[in-house]
Structure 1
Amino acid sequence: MERIIITGALGQIGTELTLKLREKYGEENVLPTDIKEPEGEALKGKPFEVLDVRDQERMKALVSEFKPDTMMHMASLLSATAEKNPQFAWEINMGGLVNALETAREFGLKFFTPSSIGAFGPSTPKENTPQVTIQRPTTMYGVNKVAGELLCDYYHEKFGVDTRGVRFPGLISHVKEPGGGTTDYAVEIYFEALRNGRYTSFIDKSTNMDMMYMDDAIDAIIKLMEADPGQLKDRNAFNVSAMSINPEMVANEIRKHIPDFELDYDVDPVRQGIAESWPNAIDSTEAKRQWGFDPRYDLEKMTEVMLEAIRNK
């Protein structure tokens, strides 16, 4: 990678991805785009372009002008948000992906887009979930992600596009607050622990889900994109995860730093239903074997960093 264009650069992953890529490849070689102008200081006043991913002509014009060799397509509606407006989710998640893949094909770009554990469904094995297994999701977000994995494989096999992707678990970050995902409790709980000393979880206490600290997620994207294609037996659906946790586990870790922290529950049936359709713990063996995936943060280390960073804000 030398020059990179990013869609959805103001989203959950996009902001931190942009900053890390600019640090690594130079500000002039990374062009973030999103549907609106940035408001936060991190990206405000720096090179940036407004792009609705449904506008393929605008997308192609930006690529033609910027001349990247890589596209990172991060624009997406997350799980709970997508359930509120499934037709709009299809337009963004699938229409935007098709436009991005066509642009990558036409301009010969290396291509990354993330999938999710949402691509799994109730009939998927719950424990040590294999990378290749049954996928019958029951949400629009999950349907989008399965279709996206297959579409990226198709563009690689049919047109030779160098497509790559991972299935992300819940991602935890102190930089950007949650944006409509089922795993958002695991971010909100840290902010509320410091703001109010208590948190009401919309996910039930015994519900285990895979999670990863955002720094590990960003490192995984870069490591996969820099991997020699000869190493990759697979392409667009690598399982990656750092920990399988539930709300009680997070609360107990927080209490090591905030002893009086209180956790209670008001379970949201929609998000709880989505969570119960996902695996409890996935197997990341192939990502480790094929391109050296190696997360650095466990729950203990992540909790220390999250609380310290939010305090400093």
Structure 2
Amino acid sequence: MERIMITGALGQIGTELVLKCREIYGEENVLATDIREPEADSPIKDGPFALLDVTDITRMEEIVSEFKPDALMHMAALLSATAEKNPLLAWNINMGGLVNALEVSREYNLQFFTPSSIGAFGPTTPKDKTPALTIQRPTSMYGVNKVSGELLCEYYNSKFGVDTRSVRFPGLISYVKEPGGGTTDYAVEIYFDALRKGEYTSFIDKGTYMDMMFMDDAIEAIIKLMEADGDKIKHRCAYNLSGMSFEPEEIAESIRKHIPDFVLKYDVDPVRQGIADSWPDRIDVSCSTDEWGFSPQYDLDAMTVAMLEGIKAKDAATQH
């Protein structure tokens, strides 16, 4: 990759992906796009930006023709809980946007990345050490979108030779961009509330294990996969990724090492709990490790330190 276009650039992953790619490839070589303008204080404004509704393929083609990228990272999507509230909108954005991005990649010969998710798994998927190739029968619209997307990317690779690459992300945890409608959002919100309120009410029940990863590891994984030798990639769409697996009580205990009086309460959301219960408890990432060297650096306690320090710095900057 030398010149990159990123859709959904103002989202949870997109924001940090844009900044990291600009750091590596040069500010002028990374075009951020989104359906809305960045806020006045957003660092995204420091480099190239274009407005884009990903369901508008004509506009997408215009931007690609003008910017001339060699890689397209398609991050625009509605997340799991939001998608369940409006499934038709989720299908139109998640699948309509994806097929447009794939068509443009085919037409302009672009290397292509889009994330899948552990949401692509379902209640009949093996719960422990879930392999990369296994039963995928999700029961949420978001999951249906992700399975369909994986198959569509495989099709564009085998039929048209598009260099498609993808990963199944677990819950992603970051202090840079607060969450926006995901089932794993509790694992981000808990850190903000621990510092700001001293307590947190979880919408996910105790004992519910889900795979998670610190955002820094996720961004590094995207770039590492995109730079990997294509001849060594076998599970192209999609690779399992995870940095850790925990349940709410375990993350609370990690926080109490720094905030001893932190209180965790529960008010379970049946919709998000149902989605979480349909996902694996712990997935197998050996294909990612073996084929392109995936190696996360953060465990739960290291992530807790990074999150608490990052939120403190963010709050201090806001107050000034």
- TM-score class, shorter: over 0.9
- The DSSP-based 3-state class of the residue aligned with 1:44 is helix
Aligned positions of 1:245-264 closer than 5 A: 245-264=246-265
Aligned positions of 1:32-51 closer than 5 A: 32-39=32-39, 40-51=41-52
Does 2:53 align with 1:22?
no
Aligned to 1:11: 11
- The DSSP-based 3-state class of the residue aligned with 2:101 is helix
Cα distance, 1:118 vs. partner? 0.1
Q: Which runs of 5+ in 2 are unaligned?
A: 315-320
Q: Which runs of 5+ in 1 are unaligned?
A: none
Aligned positions of 1:61-210 closer than 5 A: 61-210=62-211
Aligned to 2:2: 2
Counterpart-to-counterpart distance in 2, 1:283 and 1:234:
13
Cα distance, 1:207 vs. partner? 0.1
Counterpart-to-counterpart distance in 1, 2:8 and 2:109:
21
Taking structure 1 as reference, are residues 242 and 45 closer, same or farther at Cα in structure 2, changes over 3 Å only?
closer
Counterpart-to-counterpart distance in 2, 1:131 and 1:113:
16
Q: Deviation per CA, 1:58-79: give whole Å up to 9, x if none.
A: 0000000000000000000000
| Counterpart code for 2:80 | S
- The DSSP-based 3-state class of the residue aligned with 2:200 is strand
Aligned to 1:241: 242
- RMSD over aligned Cα, in angstroms? 0.6
Aligned to 2:308: 307
Q: Deviation per CA, 1:157-193: give whole Å up to 9, x if none.
A: 0000000000000000000001000000000000000
| Counterpart code for 1:143 | V
Q: Deviation per CA, 1:24-43: give whole Å up to 9, x if none.
A: 00001000000000014211
Number of residue-to-residue matches in the alignment: 313
Cα distance, 1:45 vs. partner? 4.6
Aligned to 2:318: none
Counterpart-to-counterpart distance in 1, 2:238 and 2:231:
17
Cα distance, 1:44 vs. partner? 2.5
- The DSSP-based 3-state class of the residue aligned with 1:82 is helix
Cα distance, 1:46 vs. partner? 3.0
Q: Deviation per CA, 1:51-110: give whole Å up to 9, x if none.
A: 000000000000000000000000000000000000000010000000000000000000
Counterpart-to-counterpart distance in 2, 1:198 and 1:271:
21
| Counterpart code for 2:307 | M
Percent identical across equivalent pairs? Answer: 73
Alignment check: 8 A CA contact 2:80 2:183 kept:
yes
Counterpart-to-counterpart distance in 2, 1:90 and 1:151:
14
| Counterpart code for 2:127 | K
Counterpart-to-counterpart distance in 1, 2:236 and 2:46:
36
Counterpart-to-counterpart distance in 2, 1:138 and 1:17:
29
- The DSSP-based 3-state class of the residue aligned with 1:222 is helix
* TM-score, normalising length: structure 2: 0.97
* TM-score, normalising length: structure 1: 0.99
Counterpart-to-counterpart distance in 2, 1:12 and 1:81:
14
